Structure 1
């Protein structure tokens, strides 16, 4: 999840979202290919979605679910604390946050999709 602390104008933030879409990681590209166009249980996802001062990698408004993909740098203690604070702040605003490592998406794609599917469909009748 990007934390936007630069230019605080809406135009600046939207341009940063667009730039993040153009420069997505391999893991983001793979997951987006599987989430886009309501392919997972009919839920609509947005990519690089602005929410307050943050940009979520993926967001499903219908279930208020944010999905974050983290690179190896997120394992550093300072980044772990910052990520936990961001997740807490988002959850305080009603957004459930799921975090996955880029390696998880690349090597365990099916397990990642199953976890997302489970969260999306909790409390809903099975078709």
Structure 2
């Protein structure tokens, strides 16, 4: 069986990326870490095959990607993103994407999407370890 998660040869790259999160990745990570949404565990800069994704929830096989200002939409980048998404989805993993502007201008809306995605397959949706009602704290 081929190992697809966190391949050893990409370890230093993942570590470097974790230490250099973008401003908007930091904002989103501050809301995802420590099981704050539906008691779901997220990992940052997680390896899947030869790719490294921004955030990954192993329990739900859910990837969250943040498209930054440098995310260009030239033909080569678009082809790479398409191949990357196709590979990740072929592993049974769902990919959702948010742009920097979405996080900047509509963080509540972004978190609502994440909340809905993480509520699927959850018998009783929770927020955080205490199981409080759904609230988002800025």
Relative to the length of structure 2, the TM-score reads 0.78
- Where structure 1 has 5 or more consecutive residues not aligned to the other structure, the ranges are 1-8
Judge which range, 77-86 or 60-69, deviates more. 77-86
In the alignment, what sits opposite 1:121?
A: 119
Shift of 1:116: 1.1
| Mapped contact 2:37–2:118 kept (Cα < 8 A) | no
Judge which range, 74-83 or 106-115, deviates more. 74-83
Shift of 1:75: 4.3
Count of residue correspondences: 118
Shift of 1:125: 3.3
Aligned-CA RMSD value:
1.6
SS in 2 for 1:33: helix
| Mapped contact 2:63–2:93 kept (Cα < 8 A) | yes
Whether 2:94 is the aligned partner of 1:101: answer no
| Mapped contact 1:74–1:80 kept (Cα < 8 A) | no
Shift of 1:51: 1.0
| Mapped contact 1:38–1:45 kept (Cα < 8 A) | yes
Taking the TM superposition and a 5 Å limit, the aligned residue runs for 1:4-83 are: 10=8, 12-78=9-75, 79-83=77-81
Shift of 1:120: 1.3
SS in 2 for 1:74: coil
Shift of 1:121: 1.1
Higher relative contact order (CA 8 A, sep 6+): 2
Shift of 1:58: 0.2
Shift of 1:97: 0.4
Looking at secondary structure, tell me which structure has more helix per residue.
1
Say which one has the larger Rg. 2
